[in-house]
Each structure stands twice: as C-alpha cells, then as structure tokens.
Amino acid sequence: MTPPALFGPRRPVIVLGAAHGIGAAVVARLCAWEMVDEVVLVDQDAAGLEAVAAQGFPGVRLHPVIASLADDLTDACAVLDRPGYGVVTAGVFAGGPSLTVDRESIQRVVETDLVGAVLAARTVAARLAEVGGGSLAVLSSIAARVPRHEQLAYSAAKAGLSQAMRVLGMEVAPLGVRVNTVAPGATDTRFIPPHLDRTTLASGDGTTYRGRIPRGSITTADEVAQTVAVLLSPAMRHVYLHELVVDGGESLGV
C-alpha cells in the first residue's frame, strides 16, 4: 500500500490513449499505487481498451470510451466529478526525409499530435477547473528539443505541444489546475518497429537519433508511467508549467 501522505486519497482520472503503450502503463501504475478510484479509458482501439479493462484493478471503476482526440470529449470528462487527474498520451508517429516527406503525412501528425492533443488537454483542464482543480500531465517528447533525423513533423508538433501546455498551464493555474508535460526519449512501444535492435538505439544511430543514451538502454512504458504518476501526485504540488524529461540522459549525452 502506498503512503497516504505521498499520494493522498484516491481520485478520478481520464487517460487519453489508454489502450496501448504508455497510456495503458499509466492506467496500470495509477491503479497499482492506489491513486485512483474512477478511470475513464479513452482510445479509438476498442479491442485494446477491452484488454486493458480485462486486467481488473481492485477498488477501481473503469469507464471505457471509444473516441479519438478529434472527438468532443466533454461527456467523457463528466466522470471527473471532483478534483482529479488528466493524462494525454494519445498521438501518432510518422517519419521520412524532410525534403520528401509528403504533405498529407505532415498534416496528419500535426493535426493529431498538436491540434488534437491541445484541444483534448484544454477540455480536460476546463473540466478539472469546474470541479475544483486537479493535475494534468501531457505527453510530449525529447524530439521537441533535440533534432532528430527524419522527424520533421513529429518534432515540430511536440515542440508546439510543449509550449502550448505552458500557456494553458499559466492560464488555468489560478483555477486550481496544475499542468505539466513529460518528455520521454526512445521508449519500447509499438512506435518502434520490432525489427529495430534496442541495443543499437541505445548506443546511438545517426539516421534516427542524435546520440547515445548514457544509461545504456531505452526506457520502458512503465518507467515513463511511474514518472507521470509521481508528477500528477500531490507530492509535486508546487511543480507547474514544467517539462520532465525521461530519457536516460539522451538529450544531454554525447
């Protein structure tokens, strides 16, 4: 059992992108640490949501919602009936040489990872403000600050998202809502193709990453999820407008 002084009473949470990867790991971690009692699981993947819900988390009521970042999430947020948490992890990834990547690919990434994520975060923040406050964590990436080969649209979208969350966070702070971002480095999720060697990614590859990871390995979805959970918690109550980097030292390594 987690110490009550650290994480406080159980609260409701909405997790966008809950069916896979970091989003699913966030759900599992928040439940394992007994931080939540109501979880709204939002994703487009019905089968993925069903798989997450099937894990069964004692003392937690789950509310699966099939929706995307482009949808109106006002009704999904209604379960937040008191101060709680919000997590936005949903997004897409697409790469390609900057000189040849097609317009449609750029638009899809920017529309989802920037426009969709901003609108979703704004909806969650507005609901938290209505019910008396809470904490919102939005997933960005170190690609927002570290140039990476063939990630023009993704890097631009995440950089815009990070700055947008600082602006949103500044405006909703007086309403009792704390907004921060988490910026993972290379993370072992479905965004990394199975054929890519994880050790090679950690040691550095000039065609995809700027440098090696000093820790010696890429991170896991649960390691990022633990960071998200702590950042959401009352233990970090004085942390506002911050971007917490989780990259094993990659962005500062050589």
**Residues 145-157 pLDDT 10s:** 888 888 899 999 9
Q: What is the rounded CA–CA span in Å between residue 234 and residue 134? A: 9
Domain assignment of residue 206, yes or no: yes
CATH number for 197? 3.40.50.720
E-state strands within the chain: 11-16, 36-43, 61-66, 84-88, 134-139, 177-184, 243-246
Domain assignment of residue 95, yes or no: yes
Q: What is the pLDDT of residue 6?
A: 65
Does the pLDDT of residue 202 top 70, yes or no? no
Number of domains making up the chain:
1
Q: Which residues of 171-201 are buried (b: 16+ CB within 10 A; e: fewer)?
A: ebeeeebbbbbbbbbbbbbeeeeeeeeeeeb
Give the residue numbers spanning the domain of 28: 10-246
Q: What is the pLDDT of residue 63?
A: 96
Domain assignment of residue 2, yes or no: no
Quickly count: other Cβ atoms within 10 Å of residue 235's Cβ: 15
- Give the pLDDT band (50/70/90) at residue 209: very low
Over residues 209-228, the mean pLDDT reads 78
Per-residue model confidence as pLDDT tens digits over 158-192: 999 999 999 999 999 999 999 999 999 775 565 56
Does the pLDDT of residue 203 top 70, yes or no? no
Per-residue model confidence as pLDDT tens digits over 220-253: 889 999 999 999 999 999 999 999 998 777 777 6
Per-residue model confidence as pLDDT tens digits over 94-130: 888 899 999 999 999 999 999 999 999 999 999 999 9
Domain assignment of residue 3, yes or no: no
Sign of CA dihedral 178, 179, 182, 183: negative
Domain assignment of residue 237, yes or no: yes
- CA dihedral 225→143→246→223, nearest 10 degrees, is 30
Domain assignment of residue 253, yes or no: no
Q: What is the pLDDT of residue 131?
A: 98
Domain assignment of residue 1, yes or no: no
Q: What is the pLDDT of residue 182?
A: 97
- Do the beta carbons of residue 133 and residue 175 sit within 8 Å? yes
Does the pLDDT of residue 195 top 70, yes or no? no
- Do the beta carbons of residue 85 and residue 135 sit within 8 Å? yes
More confident residue, 5 or 143: 143
Does the pLDDT of residue 141 top 80, yes or no? yes
Q: What is the pLDDT of residue 187?
A: 59
Per-residue model confidence as pLDDT tens digits over 40-97: 999 999 999 999 999 989 999 999 999 999 999 999 999 999 999 999 998 888 888 8
Domain assignment of residue 254, yes or no: no
Average pLDDT, the chain: 88
Q: What is the pLDDT of residue 219?
A: 77
Which of 10-14, 143-147, 196-200 has the highest average model confidence (pLDDT)? 10-14
Q: What is the pLDDT of residue 177?
A: 98
